[in-house]
């Protein structure tokens, strides 16, 4: 007998609601949930492969512990004993800084990844935190931190209402969107066109997204900050600046004007490969649109001027009056966010409160660059990293110079990997702790609801029960918290209890909280939920902007949405609750020291001379950019037959002109070299990539020994990040330059 069950898809940022078909303990089908309040039935090939991913025979079902050099299956008790035994001597002898925590991308796709890493870091107190943010969106956090005082105050395009979208270095038709959670992004872009809106795409490749656009600008990679600075210059020069209602909430407009003055379209045209007239036209269209949103993603982030480009995106949104207005770039308000409070000056956002040991990289948001992890492990001396806790991370493939990191991890005293696969990174661990199958895990999007184009909230419980004695990922991470706290063996629910007690103590002491002055123990007793994670979700919902405030008189959501939210209400709405379109949130969310938008923050201003130098120093030769395929997901979905093959291959895309000049033949191999090393890949000659640019996807290179990825290793591909030596970073954010770096390409004879 088969049955159906609802599960929010955790495989990308679109967060689609799925209807799964379940036969016994297997998921045999997945389709879009037509009643989902947000995704309304949308599904993509990855979501459709949910069952295959869930049932992948290479997925680890039991923990592994290394004994006599070999990883062997063991019991959970033994595995956590081994963690406690392995970590203790490192911490005792060298202090907590000798343990690095490495957090990978799927942490934003699990409840465990949202709820426990902060507790783990709080308990361990290491300065060595490395995450996927510094190979991804850290420039946006820095920009938002400086502009708005909060690194998580990230405006998203109001996709369903905007009249004009300027999209830079993003390909949502293949990625399904990022820092802009919008199930059926393709459909929403088509709807924009249908209602008479316009789409401009800036991308060195003619992507599927670019093919939908009214205007596609094939910019020279890495030059976006120059182009955006020129757009700002045109707005000022042509008197098109109009921040609208924001005018008296913005500081620094005159400074931006002065500092952008020399970035004229004529001055940047040569470096961008975009004619000055076209730059002017883009600026004028942006200013003239009734509403518009500027939005940049990976291609404008993991680049030499990533922070400047991300800053300029919101400078443009602000100067055109589109920030925080319907149809512009708006700030979502998630159900688990802190409830709004009166506006006023905040603590601001500081960079570089400490520096990394080897290269002196400034800390950003409590992190050091992932690109610097290898040197922090393999460079001898005091303060060396000797142990690693890696949760949902595969930096051997996703970070620069995987070979060096591979060797460094092999030389650690101790490593724990929380990962469902034995892959390029986890193979170095002494203990591997596999989370259960996604069908056995509950789901709520703590992270992505904060970047969603519509306020909504959904929660799906596990579809299949956990086998007896099998911890879910929340419990795995809670037990790790106990291990680093010297409390190994204690009941893991103590971790949740502590988290709840801490949060309630803060809330009752906060005059702006709906529970100000109430008895925390009484409130804790009112929490619902079958697990610690559910009770913590209930707490956040009830104290949140739409929450019931534990029955506080007058507790109600913002005007456009119902209040009264809590876990029980959510459980009664299995397809989710719509909380309305995005609504203006300024000035309430500003946390800058001035209480205003600080449009020309000092660290950004200090980086502008570097951008100015790029006006003239255009490097010769080919540069490389990445790409994503609809049926891929970073490094870990190459093991599913349903998602591999066809056009989803690790090929070097080369423009016909470059292929002709270099003697590269479609289907034959090319040798690609750069500062960090070389690799060989098949050539794909295509004019979808512009001349002077080659493109190679990331997440490949599954040919290392000691992994258990039978499908992926049969079609291994090459690791693009081996071309990098880890030294090329956006200096303000510590983000690796993964796009627009110089390479040499030659045919393999
Ligand atoms: N050259 C180049 N490099 C890039 C990029 C690029 O565009 N170009 N993109 C960068 C970006 S944007 C990102 S986000 C990073 C991603 O890089 P990483 O953060 O390293 O993420 P993944 O490669 O997706 O690997 C995720 C790991 O998590 C495991 N995993 C999957 N599901 C779960 C789960 O539910 N729980 C746990 N505990 N583990 C799980 C997988 O098996 C895998 O080992 O790569 C970056 N690297
Ligand atoms: N199918 C699939 N979906 C995914 C992922 C995946 O691996 N596969 N990964 C997920 C993750 S972790 C993330 S962060 C998101 C990323 O989501 P997106 O940012 O939409 O992803 P990309 O497809 O990498 O788009 C980046 C685009 O930037 C272009 N580009 C490269 N260099 C430059 C440049 O210098 N300037 C400009 N203007 N453009 C440039 C590239 O050609 C590419 O088309 O996708 C998520 N969704
Ligand atoms: S678009 Fe993303 S969330 Fe939606 S089904 Fe595909 S992978 Fe899942
Ligand atoms: Mo990412």
Ligand 3 pocket, residue 178 CB under 6 Å? no
The stretch 643-648 carries a mean pLDDT of 93
- Check pLDDT > 70 for residue 331: yes
**Residue bearing tokens 């898809």:** 9
Three-class SS of residue 324? coil
- Ligand 2 atom, smallest distance to 171 CA: 20
**Residue bearing tokens 């969310």:** 589
Q: For ligand 2, atom 18, name the residue with the nearest CA.
A: 170
How many whole angstroms from 628 Cα to the centroid of ligand 2?
6
How many whole angstroms from 84 Cα to the centroid of ligand 3?
37
Name the band, by pLDDT with cuts 50, 70 and 90, for residue 736.
very high
The stretch 657-662 carries a mean pLDDT of 98
The stretch 336-348 carries a mean pLDDT of 93
CA atoms within 13 A on the CB side of 11: 31
- Check pLDDT > 70 for residue 553: no
Reading the block at residue 519, the tokens are 């008895």
**Element holding 432 (H helix, E strand):** strand 431-433
Four-residue CA torsion sign, 593, 596, 601, 602: negative
Ligand 2 pocket, residue 730 CB under 6 Å? no
pLDDT in tens, 298-326: 999 999 999 999 999 999 999 999 999 99
Q: How many helices (H) and strands (E) does the chain have?
A: 26, 28
Contact 387, 412 (CB under 8 A): yes
How many whole angstroms from 175 Cα to the centroid of ligand 3?
9
- Ligand 2 atom, smallest distance to 303 CA: 35
Ligand 3 pocket, residue 256 CB under 6 Å? no
Ligand 2 pocket, residue 336 CB under 6 Å? no
> What is each CA distance from 499 to 446, 535, 539, in whole angstroms?
16, 10, 10
How many whole angstroms from 369 Cα to the centroid of ligand 4?
15
Separation CA 536–CA 336 (nearest Å): 10
Q: Using a 6 Å CB cutoff, which residues line ligand 1?
A: 104-106, 110, 132, 135-136, 298, 391-395, 397-398, 418-421, 423, 435, 473, 626, 634-636, 698-699, 720-721, 738
pLDDT in tens, 133-162: 999 999 999 999 999 999 999 999 999 999
Ligand 3 pocket, residue 9 CB under 6 Å? yes
Name the band, by pLDDT with cuts 50, 70 and 90, for residue 560.
very low
Reading the block at residue 158, the tokens are 């109001």
pLDDT in tens, 683-714: 999 999 999 999 999 999 999 999 999 999 99
| Cis peptide bond upstream of 126, omega within 30 | no
CA 618 to chain centre: 30
Look at domain 619-747 and name its CATH class. Answer: mainly beta
Chain mean pLDDT for the chain: 97
> Given this model, what pLDDT does residue 623 score?
98
Ligand 2 pocket, residue 205 CB under 6 Å? yes
Q: For ligand 1, atom 37, name the residue with the nearest CA.
A: 392
Name the band, by pLDDT with cuts 50, 70 and 90, for residue 340.
confident
Name the band, by pLDDT with cuts 50, 70 and 90, for residue 429.
very high
Of the listed ligands, the closest to the CA of 175 is 2
Q: For ligand 1, atom 23, name the residue with the nearest CA.
A: 635
Q: How many CB atoms lie within 10 A of CB 470?
A: 17
Reading the block at residue 736, the tokens are 């690796």
Separation CA 9–CA 32 (nearest Å): 10
Ligand 2 pocket, residue 634 CB under 6 Å? yes
> Given this model, what pLDDT does residue 562 score?
59
> What is each CA distance from 640 to 45, 62, 140, 521, 710, in whole angstroms?
12, 20, 32, 48, 9
Ligand 3 pocket, residue 172 CB under 6 Å? no
Ligand 2 pocket, residue 303 CB under 6 Å? yes
Ramachandran angles phi, psi of 645, nearest 5°: 85, -175
How many whole angstroms from 634 Cα to the centroid of ligand 1?
5
- Ligand 2 atom, smallest distance to 132 CA: 12
Testing ligand 3's pocket by substitution, the residue of 40, 176, 185 carrying the most ligand atoms inside 8 A of its CB is 176
> Given this model, what pLDDT does residue 83 score?
98
Count of residues making up the chain? 749
Ligand 3 pocket, residue 12 CB under 6 Å? yes
Separation CA 705–CA 439 (nearest Å): 29
Q: How many CB atoms lie within 10 A of CB 379?
A: 15
- Ligand 1 atom, smallest distance to 394 CA: 20
pLDDT in tens, 361-376: 999 999 999 999 999 9
How many whole angstroms from 627 Cα to the centroid of ligand 2?
6
- Ligand 3 atom, smallest distance to 12 CA: 2
Closest by CA position to 709, among listed 432, 396, 424, 451: 424
Separation CA 472–CA 492 (nearest Å): 11
> Given this model, what pLDDT does residue 617 score?
81
Ligand 3 pocket, residue 186 CB under 6 Å? no
Q: For ligand 3, atom 5, name the residue with the nearest CA.
A: 47
> Given this model, what pLDDT does residue 559 score?
46
Three-class SS of residue 431? strand
Of the listed ligands, the closest to the CA of 722 is 1
Contact 585, 144 (CB under 8 A): no
Query: What end-to-end distance do the CA atoms of the chain give, in Å?
Result: 58
pLDDT in tens, 6-64: 999 999 999 999 999 999 999 999 999 999 999 999 999 999 999 999 999 999 999 99
Ramachandran angles phi, psi of 452, nearest 5°: -90, 145
Determine the CATH number of domain 143-340+586-612: 3.40.228.10
- Check pLDDT > 50 for residue 99: yes
**Share above pLDDT 70 across residues of the chain, in percent, rounded to a whole number:** 99
The stretch 51-78 carries a mean pLDDT of 97
Testing ligand 2's pocket by substitution, the residue of 178, 230, 728 carrying the most ligand atoms inside 8 A of its CB is 178
DSSP state of 296: E
**Share above pLDDT 90 across residues of the chain, in percent, rounded to a whole number:** 97
> Given this model, what pLDDT does residue 123 score?
97
Testing ligand 3's pocket by substitution, the residue of 14, 178, 447 carrying the most ligand atoms inside 8 A of its CB is 14
Of the listed ligands, the closest to the CA of 643 is 2
Of the listed ligands, the closest to the CA of 719 is 1
How many whole angstroms from 178 Cα to the centroid of ligand 2?
8
Name the band, by pLDDT with cuts 50, 70 and 90, for residue 554.
low
The stretch 531-554 carries a mean pLDDT of 92
Separation CA 661–CA 317 (nearest Å): 42
* Greatest distance between any 2 Cα atoms in the chain: 78
Ligand 2 pocket, residue 626 CB under 6 Å? yes
Q: How do 64-67 and 70-73 pair as beta strands?
A: antiparallel
| Domain parsing of the chain, residue ranges | 143-340+586-612, 506-578, 619-747
Task: Provide the angle, in degrees to the nearest 10, between the axes of the packed helices 473-484 and 493-509.
Answer: 80
Q: How many CB atoms lie within 10 A of CB 623?
A: 18
Separation CA 686–CA 172 (nearest Å): 21
Ligand 2 pocket, residue 630 CB under 6 Å? yes
Q: What angle do CA 738, 743, 749 make, to 5 degrees?
A: 130
Ligand 3 pocket, residue 650 CB under 6 Å? no
pLDDT in tens, 601-631: 999 999 999 999 999 988 889 999 999 999 9
pLDDT in tens, 388-410: 999 999 999 999 999 999 999 99
Q: How many CB atoms lie within 10 A of CB 601?
A: 22
- Check pLDDT > 90 for residue 555: no
Contact 709, 344 (CB under 8 A): no
Ramachandran angles phi, psi of 478, nearest 5°: -60, -40
- Ligand 2 atom, smallest distance to 168 CA: 38
- Ligand 1 atom, smallest distance to 635 CA: 23
How many whole angstroms from 44 Cα to the centroid of ligand 3?
5
Q: How many CB atoms lie within 10 A of CB 491?
A: 12
- Ligand 2 atom, smallest distance to 634 CA: 7
Q: For ligand 3, atom 6, name the residue with the nearest CA.
A: 44
- How deeply is 671 buried, as exposed, middle or buried, from its count of CB atoms within 10 A (0-12, 13-18, 19+)? middle
Testing ligand 2's pocket by substitution, the residue of 171, 206, 611, 640 carrying the most ligand atoms inside 8 A of its CB is 171
- Ligand 1 atom, smallest distance to 417 CA: 38
- Check pLDDT > 80 for residue 561: no
- Check pLDDT > 90 for residue 563: no
Q: Which regions of 572-698 does DSSP assign to beta strands (E)?
A: 577-581, 597-598, 622-625, 652-654, 669-674, 677-685, 693-695
Count Cβ neighbours within 10 Å for each residue of 638-661 and write b for 16 or more, e otherwise.
Answer: bbbeebbeeebbbbbbbbeebbee
How many whole angstroms from 54 Cα to the centroid of ligand 4?
21
Separation CA 320–CA 335 (nearest Å): 29
Q: For ligand 2, atom 2, name the residue with the nearest CA.
A: 175
Separation CA 275–CA 265 (nearest Å): 8
What does pTM read for this prediction? 0.98
**Element holding 372 (H helix, E strand):** none
**Residue bearing tokens 């149809």:** 327
Separation CA 700–CA 349 (nearest Å): 36
Separation CA 461–CA 268 (nearest Å): 52
CB within 8 Å of 467: residues ≥ 6 apart: none
DSSP state of 4: E
pLDDT in tens, 257-278: 999 999 999 999 999 999 999 9
Reading the block at residue 250, the tokens are 């913005």
């Amino acid at each position: 007998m088969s049955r159906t069950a609802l599960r929010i898809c955790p495989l990308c940022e679109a967060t689609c609601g799925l209807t799964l078909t379940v036969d016994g303990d297997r998921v045999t089908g997945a389709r879009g949930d037509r009643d989902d309040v947000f995704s309304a039935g949308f599904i993509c090939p990855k979501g459709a492969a949910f069952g295959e991913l869930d049932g992948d025979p290479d997925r680890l079902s039991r923990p592994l512990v290394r004994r006599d050099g070999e990883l062997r299956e063991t019991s959970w008790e033994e595995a956590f004993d081994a963690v406690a035994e392995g970590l203790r001597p490192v911490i005792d002898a060298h202090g907590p800084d000798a343990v690095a925590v490495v957090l990978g991308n799927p942490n934003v796709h699990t409840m465990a990844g949202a709820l426990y890493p902060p507790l783990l870091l709080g308990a361990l107190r290491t300065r060595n935190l490395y995450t996927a943010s510094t190979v991804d969106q850290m420039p946006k956090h820095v920009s938002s931190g400086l502009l708005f005082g909060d690194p998580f105050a990230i405006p998203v395009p109001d996709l369903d209402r905007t009249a004009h979208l300027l999209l830079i270095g993003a390909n949502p038709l293949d990625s399904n969107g990022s820092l802009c959670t919008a199930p059926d992004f393709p459909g929403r872009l088509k709807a924009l066109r249908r209602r008479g809106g316009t789409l401009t795409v800036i991308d060195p490749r003619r992507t599927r997204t670019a093919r939908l656009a009214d205007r596609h600008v094939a910019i020279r990679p890495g030059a976006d900050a120059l182009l955006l600075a020129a757009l700002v210059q045109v707005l000022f020069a042509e008197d098109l600046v109009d921040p609208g209602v924001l005018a008296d909430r913005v500081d620094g407009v005159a400074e931006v004007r002065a500092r952008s003055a020399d970035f004229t379209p004529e001055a940047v045209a040569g470096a961008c490969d975009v004619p000055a007239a076209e730059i002017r036209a883009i600026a004028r269209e942006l200013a003239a649109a009734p509403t518009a949103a500027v939005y940049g993603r990976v291609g404008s982030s993991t680049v030499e001027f990533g922070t400047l480009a991300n800053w300029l995106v919101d400078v443009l949104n602000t100067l055109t009056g589109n920030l925080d207005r319907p149809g512009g770039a708006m700030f979502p308000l998630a159900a688990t966010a802190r409830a709004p409070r009166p506006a006023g000056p905040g603590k601001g956002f500081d960079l570089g409160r400490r520096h990394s040991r080897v290269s002196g990289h400034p800390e950003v948001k409590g992190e050091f660059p992932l690109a610097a992890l290898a040197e922090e492990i393999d460079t001898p001396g005091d303060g060396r990293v000797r142990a690693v806790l890696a949760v949902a991370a595969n930096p051997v493939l996703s970070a620069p110079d995987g070979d060096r990191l591979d060797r460094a991890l092999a030389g650690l005293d101790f490593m724990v990997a929380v990962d469902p696969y034995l892959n390029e990174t986890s193979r170095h661990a002494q203990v591997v702790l596999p989370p259960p199958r996604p069908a056995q895990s509950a789901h709520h999007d703590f992270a992505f609801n904060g970047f969603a184009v519509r306020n909504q909230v959904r929660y799906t419980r596990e579809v299949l029960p956990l086998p007896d004695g099998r911890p879910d990922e929340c419990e795995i991470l809670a037990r790790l918290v106990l291990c680093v706290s010297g409390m190994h063996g204690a009941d893991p629910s103590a971790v949740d209890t502590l988290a709840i007690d801490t949060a309630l103590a803060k809330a009752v002491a906060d005059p702006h909280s709906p529970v100000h002055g109430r008895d925390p123990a009484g409130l804790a007793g009112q929490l619902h939920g079958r697990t610690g994670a559910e009770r913590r979700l209930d707490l956040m919902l009830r104290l949140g902007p739409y929450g019931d405030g534990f029955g506080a008189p007058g507790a109600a959501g913002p005007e456009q949405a119902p209040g009264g939210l809590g876990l029980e209400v959510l459980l009664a709405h299995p397809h989710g609750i719509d909380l309305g379109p995005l609504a203006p949130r300024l000035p309430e969310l500003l946390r800058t020291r001035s209480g205003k938008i600080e449009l020309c923050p000092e660290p950004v201003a200090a980086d502008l001379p570097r951008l100015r130098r790029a006006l003239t120093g255009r490097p010769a030769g080919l540069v490389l950019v990445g790409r994503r395929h609809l049926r891929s997901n970073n490094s870990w979905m190459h093991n599913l037959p349903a998602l591999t093959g066809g056009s989803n291959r690790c090929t070097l895309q080369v423009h016909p002109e470059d292929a002709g000049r270099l003697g590269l033949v479609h289907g034959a191999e090319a040798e690609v070299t750069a500062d960090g090393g070389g690799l060989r890949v098949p050539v794909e000659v295509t004019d979808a990539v512009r001349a002077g640019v080659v493109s190679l996807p990331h997440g490949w290179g599954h040919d290392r020994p000691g992994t258990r990825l039978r499908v992926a290793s049969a079609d291994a591909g090459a690791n693009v990040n081996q071309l990098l030596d880890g030294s090329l970073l956006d200096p303000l954010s510590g983000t690796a330059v993964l796009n627009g770096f110089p390479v040499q390409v030659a045919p393999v004879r």
